[in-house]
Chain A
């Protein structure tokens, strides 16, 4: 049974999460009512546009003739039933389109974050313990470069170098055309293929993941290296680190157990930031690598002013984001017992 303070802490954060979610739905709702233009004309097909019955029923369904608060209420009700409306572009339910797009981005995001974490934190610790020596300067320079390079440019350079010039990697998409998509279980091609013993498919999917994941990871590697370095440096001078040495613990343990743990709270903040970077980056990277994910979806719906799709995507992305922040908050409490009392 987890301790009382921890349970209370989680409960409070959860309540805040729910409130924030509500606020987000309001924002999403208001945002899309900013858009000039008649949603009726936009949503209905060519023929139905002039059919008064179709118009009337559409108006009814979405409560467009009612005042704004009522519309919002309708919207919330639909939301709770999992109805995000119908995309004007594809004429599919937005939830369906999202369902297709989410796993694609998830696959990319997870791999890219893992790479960024391992490399970034590793570099950061290295940089901190070799402070002001050559390794440190080199790593600081590289990480600065990583966060300064525009993601879309890097993606293009990567494609040019490793697809066009040296044909090591494919130029886009999730699978080569000769492969069929594996049976849908998670939507993550690699996982689905492995689950069904389709090793060649899995390998191919992985092959397609490499370039976009690396490009996405680069900005985060830079970020994590810098933050880890400063987080470690902040704690390395503390008495408890010195006390650990005085106990006879090997330097390796002192750094990776004592110092890193004390630096965790700062690091966890960055992980939230890293996810945000991945979301932002995915819009650009997915466009360049023709990756059918959320970023691509968001872009397409934005430029075609597909209202339900925009609302759906914004809502989804915002919810994911605040959930991640919520998890981060909880992790704070788990890592640092002093926080549980706040």
Chain B
């Protein structure tokens, strides 16, 4: 617990912090986390330096179509004569920022609602819970499909639809955390020391809630990538000629024998998702470690 020498009760100075249960191995000692971070880093670098890495314009139909992967075209060319490698590279500029946007929005909206519900309880909590129940009742993709279709297929609407589908998870988690943290003695103590509801919320409850939410967000990032590419695969997300990975896999379905058209974009999705899953898993081990089976008893 960190605290400043007491000058109570004039101003609330204590920052009460829950001790993190147990000390797990730091993140740089977990191999999965390292691999995850490396892969994610690679993709991020690719996204940033896309124009420098891609040999050609992703939209340029300059080459003979259906070329096998070769030295000149690492991933071959597609049905319109575009270099698939360049398209995959530029695809990072679609998938990664959008997934991040999706997760951030869901986290913000869901987190806020969850916090309010968990802290003020009563009818606020009831309403938010009913709302999440309703959204949860529809499997993500059905809801997303309907919303996207009715608003018109575009990547922007796909993101919107997915935010609608994803915020309840954050709301539930944050609500649960706020409620359990709020009930602990140290928060009650701080309230007794005179902090207002808002102060207690932001200074005491929030820091303890952030950890698990970050874990959730990281894992959700991978889910976001899967859902976005899934919707694009169905034609409800990114529209042609966007080099979105899911849409590219969809095109490849029609030209089945040219296996490279679907394989490489799919591989891109796979590795990106894997990276964030590794990362999220390791983060979860840090924030919520389960101690080794049994310890010496007295």
Binding site for B on A (CB under 8 A): 20, 23-24, 27, 31-32, 34-36, 131, 144-145, 147-153, 156-157, 159-160, 164, 230, 233-234, 236-237, 276, 279-280, 283-284, 287-288, 298-299, 302-303, 305, 310, 313-314, 317-318, 321-322
Contacts and interface: CB of A to CB of B under 8 A. Distances in A.
B202 interface: no
Interface stretch (B16-24, B40-48, B233-241): B233-241
Interface residues of B, number: 48
Contacts of A164: 256-257
A209 B270 CA distance: 25
B293 A280 contact: no
Most chain A beta-carbon neighbours within 10 Å: one of B139, B149, B262: B139
A310 B133 CA distance: 20
A157 B266 contact: yes
Interface string B44-70: 000000000000000000000000000
Contacts of B236: 302-303
Nearest to B219: A147
Given A24-B134, A153-B267, A153-B270, 10 more contacts: A149-B270, A152-B250, A152-B266, A156-B266, A276-B139, A283-B142, A284-B141, A305-B149, A313-B142, A322-B137
B281 A153 contact: no
Nearest to A159: B256
Contacts of A147: 277
Contacts of A145: 274
A245 to B, nearest CB: 12
17 contacts: A23-B130, A23-B134, A34-B151, A144-B274, A145-B274, A150-B230, A150-B233, A153-B266, A236-B293, A280-B140, A298-B145, A302-B149, A303-B235, A305-B149, A318-B137, A321-B137, A321-B139
B278 interface: yes
B118 interface: no
Contacts of A233: 290, 293
Interface string B259-292: 1001100110110011001100100000000100
Contacts of A288: 253
